[in-house]
Amino acid sequence: MTVKPNAKHLKDYTAPNYFIDNIDLDFNLDDSKTKIVAINKVRRSGSHNDPLVLDGVDLTLLAVSIDGHPIDNYLVKDNQLIISDLPSECVLIIETEVNPEENTSLEGLYKSADAFCTQCESEGFRKITYYLDRPDVLAVFSTKITADKAAFPYLLSNGNCVDSGDLENGQHWVQWRDPYPKPAYLFALVAGDFDVLRDNYITTSGRDVKLELFVDKGNLSRGHHAVESLKKSMKWDEDRFGLEYDLDVYMIVAVDFFNMGAMENKGLNVFNSKYVLADAASATDVDYLGIEAVIGHEYFHNWTGNRITCRDWFQLSLKEGLTVFRDQEFSSDLGSRAVNRIQNVKVLRSAQFPEDAGPMAHPIRPASVIEMNNFYTATVYNKGAEVIRMIHTLLGESNFRAGMDLYFKRHDGQAVTCDDFVASMQDASGVDLTLFKNWYSQSGTPSVTVTDHYNAETNVYTLSMLQHTPSTADQKVKQILHIPVDIELLDEQGSPLALTFAGKPVHHVLNLTEKQQDFVFDNITSAPVPSLFREFSAPVKLNYAYSNEQLTMLMVHASNDFARWDASQLLINKHVVENVGRVRDKQSLELPAVFGQAFRDLVANEQLDPALKAEMLQFPSTNSLMGLFDDVDVDALLAVTGFIKAEIANSVASSCAAIYADMPKHVYAIEHEHIALRSLKNVCLEYIALANVADVNALVLNQFEQSDNMTDTMGAISAANKAQLPCFKTMMSAFESTWSHDGLVMDKWFVQIGLSPSKECLKVVKATLEHGSFSLANPNRTRSLIGSFSALNTKTFHALDGSGYAFLADILCQLNSSNPQVASRLITPLIEFKKFDAARQALMKAQLVRLSQIDALAADLFEKIDRALA
């Protein structure tokens, strides 16, 4: 019987009764019996005599002493070490033993292949030693590591290396010291035998920082892009925010077994290999750009997360939302701002909007949690970044930078709150953000309904806006929000109109601060076409009755590239909704002539940036389309999307074939102009395949066989998979033969198996569990195969016999005991059952009930299942 875990609430936060100002750690590494001695300088806060309560999980406690004297009057209970009658200050020494080899949770100290590795965010340090494992306890860490020198020549930890030496019996040791106080979640240790790529960076003030990238043997040539990305990140943060790096060395270690993308441990970032290793043969353009973004993200945490950290875990978006905003700006400044913005919004609409509408809905600053790992979410990260972006929109670049400067000046070296950040922004700019702060505490995706009226006699145009945030699983009553609405008005020829009222200019960012509000413009000589929420100025759903003609005009004439892309998405969405209605009414599917013409004109537009054209041609994800409906008819939606995709393909196939044939041949390079052309080329290939034009099988196979880069290789495989061309099996077999030795590259192969529209998909997925390159113990392999199938293969996962649901539940039963954090990520498609038809709801709910009855159900899964079934 599973005991219901207790929830923690933001309202119950209290400052710690004790602080640990310094901790000296001594690790004697061993596969099954690693011994850790932790010397803590403890200081009582206040005049109380409460016991010191330390957190610890899966530890063998060997000894406890205070000021050099062993004690035994302590209590170990419910994963806590409780010590009473402490002096106001003391040195507390705790000796523990852990078994890294059996630690499959990949939290605390564990083995990744032959290397030792740690992951301590959010609460992994308690799997190393008993400690005040909370982010508002900041200590100076000193770490000594001892291990066999032949097996583990590199012994790494936070800060600067201050000493080292050799011992008898082939052992050696290294001493590290991090001079900057930090919470335990930022601690890191890595020990192993690696290839090392070394470089350096000269900061603005002239400091010479050593850069070291540690990778598995044989992968050194695939690390150069990561190091270059790091140097670009350091330069960008100096230029954009005036922030320099502060240690003598910056280290990155790539490991295969890692639950997350990467971790910003002070001075020693531990990365999933996926976000480090790349060369043209093994990595796509998307991989290269992802590495650049994640390298940047973790580096930017040095200030927004490390130097200033969270007071408590409810404030997680303080560091993550802000740092996601920073890495988005970094990628936009280095590449295509429009394409980066489009990609960011795609994530919101396909992942965060469904989260807001599901059982795990929560604000970017949650009010309560059971398992903190469950709140490393698209809401905290991506919606959190949108909240920061809205502040930037409202303040402007100059005031926003002043707010950042004030934030660092006030809070460097502190553990603070989201309110502290907003106060810095408000105080530096003079802009009142009182109402805006509701974004931090309110869940749900607001909708903004816009109607308009044009008075031809007075030349006055009025936009009327109504905001509404629907009730969510966690909150029934909603507050008014401060919503920035970036607009443009176009005349009949598609030219932008000046925004004025009463002879004064009106700013293009409107402030919607009431439930219902009118915005009036004069000197408008004809009824305009409004471009609304340009740049996605707020994370909302827009309701405005655009005509086909208005949307096609915006696709061509909107001055903002994001708005042009969004118009193409709105045009598709409009006809998806209309045709799903036709299916339900048992009517035939249809599209107006203007629809196909709009996409023919798009392909033919030679003035359009190829990167933007490629994005505008890409069909919205099924997950984002589901968000258009209160109740999702899976069968109708699949029928409609298949019909519309085919109509677009048939409309543009000949033009796409011409573009494809004329595509210039380049030597592969990670240059944004080349990336744009490859993106357009592969979108064109997909539409050619879907239209099933003559000799398409040979065309696709030829691209695969002639490809000199992974982007074009996967472009061919993906096109063949989606169109179910005969060459798909040939290409998959060849790919497997070439890459079966490299799990990271095989992840791309596993994804294609999970995404297959074939009737045999689930059967093949099950068989692939036994593949020599697959391991359920590896989070990357699991996410690639199981995650792609359950989250992205709508047709097969939601099969009416419930087989997809049962399969996922079977996998979750296994992961519950081995890696509940990965299980918790994978369960998301099941817990969103309430948006589907009654038959599917019953089948999904049955699997959730089955999972809820597992003995020793992990807190990670318990919380999500409990909230879904509530």
User: Which of the residues are catalytic?
Assistant: 298
Alpha-carbon distance of 616 to 204, in angstroms, equals: 40
Burial of residue 730 (CB within 10 Å: 0-12, 13-18, 19+) is middle
| Strands laid side by side in the 529-532 sheet | 509-512, 483-490, 529-532
Helix (H, G, I), strand (E, B) or coil at 28: strand
Contact (CB, 8 A) for 523 and 506: no
Backbone angles phi, psi at 40, to 5 degrees: -110, 130
Distance between CA 383 and CA 162 in Å, rounded? 41
Q: What is the DSSP letter of 689?
A: H
Burial of 169 (0-12, 13-18, 19+ CB in 10 A): exposed
Query: Phi then psi for 229, rounded to 5 degrees?
Result: -65, -40
Contact 291, 279 (CB under 8 A): no
What is the spatial distance between Cα 622 and Cα 198, in angstroms, rounded to a whole number?
44
For 723-773, the three-class secondary structure string (H helix, E strand, C coil) is HCCCHHHHHHHHHHHHHCCCHHHHHHHHHHHHHCCCCCHHHHHHHHCCCCC
Instruction: Return d(Cα 490, Cα 498) in angstroms, integer.
Output: 9
CA distance 862 to 397: 43
**Residues near 493 by Cβ (< 8 Å), separated by ≥ 6?**
none
SS3 letters across 115-154 = EEEEECCCCCHHHCCCECCCCCCCEEEEEEEEEECCCCCE
Find the DSSP H helices in 605-742. Answer: 610-617, 622-626, 634-662, 672-691, 696-706, 710-723, 727-739
> Quick one: how far is CA 192 from the chain centroid?
28
Radius of gyration of the chain (CA): 28
